[in-house]
Each structure stands twice: as C-alpha cells, then as structure tokens.
Amino acid sequence: MASLIEVLVTSDSNNTVWTNAVWDPNTGTSLMTYKGGGTAEDKTLAFIGKDYIASVEKTRPILHIWPLNSYQTVQGIRFILPGKATSLAVSPNGEFVVAGIEEKIYLWQMASGNLLTIIARHYQKVGILKFTPDGSYFISGSDDGMIMVWSLAAVSAHPEVELVQQTSAGQHDPMHMISAHCLPITDFCVSKTGMHGRLCSTSSDRSCKIFDLASGELLLNVIFTEPLTAITFDILELKVFVGSVDGKIYEFSLMNPPRDKDVMVQDLQLPSFNAHTKAVTCLSVSLDGETLMSGSNDELVILWHIRSKQPLRTIRHKGPITNAFFTINLPAIYKQNITTGLILHPLDRTTEKEAEDVNELEVYIKNKIDFWPDVKHQLVEKTMSSKEAENEFKLKEEQLQAELDKLKAINQNLYAMAVHNALKPVPGAQKKNKKKKKKENTAE
C-alpha cells in the first residue's frame, strides 16, 4: 500500500462488525477495521498523532483508542470521561484533546492525563469542536447557535501558575464569540491558514455563513430553503460544498461572491449533487481536489467526481454514517510492530489535585529530527560546576602548552642536527684531492 496516497476513514451507527474502518477510495475495499468501541458518536472520530485513532462511544462516557496497526483497543488503560461526550477534537500533534460534554468543554493533556480546564460559556450542548491546522486555537459550536474561538495557550495556562480549582475553572473569555446563527450549529470548516483564513458554518436555521477568523466579521450569508447539516471547502478553498437534510449537496464558488452580504440560494442557481435520500452527515474533499466524499443517514458513502457531478463509487454501510473523511495514508496502519512516539495516560475527571499528586513531565512526545548531526559528547557545564569546568580547562591548557613546548624542542634538535650534517666534510674527499695534485705535478 506504499503507492496509496490517501485513505477514507468512516464509522456508522451499527457496531455489530466494527466501530471504525479504513478504506481504499480507489477500489472501495476495506484496509483496516477497529473493533470493540461500540457505536461511535457523531463528529468524534479523530487521529492522535500518527500512532492512534480514537472515537467516543455513543451510549457510554468512554473514549476508545486503538493503535493504528491493531483492531483491538489500547490494553491496560481505560479512558473514562466525566460524562457522555457529544463532540471531540485532538490537536494536530496529539498532545491535547478537547471534548464537549453537555454544555461544557473539557481540555486534557494526553501525556499526563491532567484535566487542564473546564470551560462553561455555552448554554446548550456543544455539538462540534475543531482545532485550527496549527493547533494554536480550537473552535466550538453549540446548539445555542453560538460559535466561539478559543486560544489553547490562554485556556490551558492558569494566570496564577497554580493548581486550578473547580471554583476558578472555566473562567476564560473566547477570542471571538459569534452569534450570527439563531438555531443549533450543525457543522463548520476552517481554512488551512487557521486564524488568518475563513470559517464557514451551517445551521438548522437554513443559513450558511462565512466569517473572517482574524476579526470575527461576517463576510457572506447564504440562505437556503432547507436546514443544512454539513459543509467543507475544496482543496484550494475556492469552492464550498454544503449538505442538507433532504440529501442534496450544493456547490457555490467564492471566486464571484454576490455584492450583498445576504443572498438567497434561488438567486445563485447553485449546481447540486443528487443521490442521497436522507440527510447528509459528512463531507470531505480528496487531496487531489477531484473527488468529493459524502456520508448520509441513508447508510451510503458516495464518492463524486466534482466537475461532472457524477458518483464514482458507493460504499454501503449497515447504519447511518456518523463520521467520514479523507486523510493521508499512514504507514503505521500496515506495520506489524510500531514504536509509538506518544505517551497515553488515563484522563482525570476533575481539576482538583493535591500538591503531592502533581507530576512534572519533561518529555511529552518523541520527536527525532535528522537535520542536525548527532552530538557525541555532552557539554562540561551540564555535569560540572562552573569552577570545576574552569579548573579542568586550565589543566588541559597547561597540558597542551607542555606538549607544544616538547614538540618545539624536538623540532629544534632535528633542525640543528640537519645543519650540522650538511656542513660536516665528507670523509676521504681530502685524500682524493691530494692524489689529483700529485698526478698533476708529475705530469708537469
């Protein structure tokens, strides 16, 4: 499967065979299944780094986590939540997990299991949570019609740098509080540029709204004739695909927006994808931008060719689709043995801790960077005091100076010997000269 670039991950409401499954979108064949997690709750299926896949059980307050290469859940650790979660999101690096339980938002650190904060700013059930691509912010949507943008650094760090108590937990202000919708938020999607991009949302109030995330300003409001249930961008974020309760999927372009902020869908005459018979629950676009995936309550996952609006392949499930999206093909799925770089810990159900129960962790994730050469020796300052390091440096300097003086003496002796040998007369040369002179005298 090395040539496969992306895969399709799905879950449905019928858990008789498996909880989650990984599919080859080119052939429609199942590549991997994950079992023993019951029925996955809507919008709670997520990857934890590149090592694990997780989803929340629909009927019990349990988070199920599987290694990517195993159909069984992680052994020896149970992830019990404070209550039945209705939404879940994991940061892109896998270090933080945020869950919506009734009208509250719970934030955990995965490596330690510490419950960092409980945010209580929504008035009704939190139905959807998503992180921005860089993991610095997360966004919550609720049945109260509110969308709130949260800074991860602001809500995870206590201003007094002390243990967070139940009485002080949740006292955080969002960066933006968007109240443009008047009915429950059903879905939203975030630009790849995060806070510098756009946020598109759908609601039961039959409107699709586009916001500027940096300022929270409403840019466009498209009003449809039926309640909306799902939304996604295309790969270049030039088009928006919107799913409705009657099974239709509408497409509208952001290249030629209307002149007014509020526009009726009848005025736009949008093209649509027509095959589902029930509400569309999930939408996702492939990495090449050619294929649209849609999941529906009619138990079908359909892959569409975007330009022709024709279905390419249908993957039938045994229950309404609860989660479905495209993702890159992770090599860990096919390996028999994998070395995980993430640490997992049971999740706390309260923020109150005793001082002796707090553990300090210095390493949360295993990252190996091959860009820089390996360092084969440690710095002297890490193991010695500054005085000891200075004394050792002086000793080494003296040794090097003695060695240098020794080499200079040897070199001087060699030079003197060479000069002496060069100037020393050759033995027998004088006798030869005397014989030559005698011969010359006799000849005369």
pLDDT tens digits, one per residue of 126-158: 999 999 999 999 999 999 999 999 999 999 875
pLDDT at 161: 43
286-310 tens-digit pLDDT: 999 999 999 999 999 999 999 999 9
pLDDT at 337: 83
176-207 tens-digit pLDDT: 999 999 999 999 999 999 999 999 999 999 99
Local confidence band at 261 (pLDDT 50, 70, 90 cut-offs): confident
Report residue 283 as tokens: 């939408």
Of the candidate ranges 65-74, 131-140, 353-362, 431-440, the one whose mean pLDDT is the lowest: 353-362
3-state secondary structure of 333: helix
Q: What angle do CA 93, 321, 37 make, to 5 degrees?
A: 60
Q: What does the mean pLDDT of the chain come to?
A: 85
Q: Is the pLDDT of residue 221 over 70?
A: yes
Burial class of 412 by CB neighbour count within 10 A (0 to 12, 13 to 18, 19+): exposed
Kindly state the average pLDDT of the residues 222-244. 95
48-66 tens-digit pLDDT: 999 999 999 999 999 999 9
328-357 tens-digit pLDDT: 998 889 888 877 778 899 999 887 665 445
Local confidence band at 109 (pLDDT 50, 70, 90 cut-offs): very high
pLDDT at 262: 86
pLDDT at 17: 87
pLDDT at 299: 95
Q: What is the DSSP string of 98-153?
A: EEEETTEEEEEETTT--EEEEE---SS-EEEEEE-TTSSEEEEEETTS-EEEEEHH
Contact 181/207 with Cβ under 8 angstroms?
A: yes
Kindly state the average pLDDT of the residues 227-238. 95
Percentage above 90 pLDDT, the chain: 62
Architecture of the domain defined by 6-357: 7 Propeller (2.130)
Q: Is the pLDDT of residue 169 over 60?
A: no
Phi/psi for 212 (5° steps) reads: -90, 115
pLDDT at 284: 97
pLDDT at 377: 45
Q: What angle do CA 52, 55, 56 make, to 5 degrees?
A: 145
Q: Between residues 68 and 426, which one has the greater pLDDT? A: 68
pLDDT at 67: 94
pLDDT at 420: 81
What is the rounded distance in angstroms from the CA atom of residue 115 to the CA atom of residue 109? Answer: 7
Percentage above 70 pLDDT, the chain: 83
Residues 6+ apart with CB under 8 A from 385: none
3-state secondary structure of 54: strand
What is the rounded distance in angstroms from the CA atom of residue 142 to the CA atom of residue 186? Answer: 8
Phi/psi for 87 (5° steps) reads: -160, 155
pLDDT at 434: 59
What is the rounded distance in angstroms from the CA atom of residue 263 to the CA atom of residue 47? Answer: 37
Q: Is the pLDDT of residue 373 over 50?
A: no
pLDDT at 135: 93
Whether the pTM exceeds 0.95: the reply is no
pLDDT at 257: 72
pLDDT at 115: 93
Of the candidate ranges 86-90, 302-306, 423-427, the one whose mean pLDDT is the lowest: 423-427
Q: Is the pLDDT of residue 160 over 80?
A: no
In Å, how far are 36, 42, 124, 330, 380 from 65, measured between CA atoms? 10, 16, 27, 16, 43
3-29 tens-digit pLDDT: 789 999 999 998 888 999 999 999 999
Local confidence band at 362 (pLDDT 50, 70, 90 cut-offs): very low
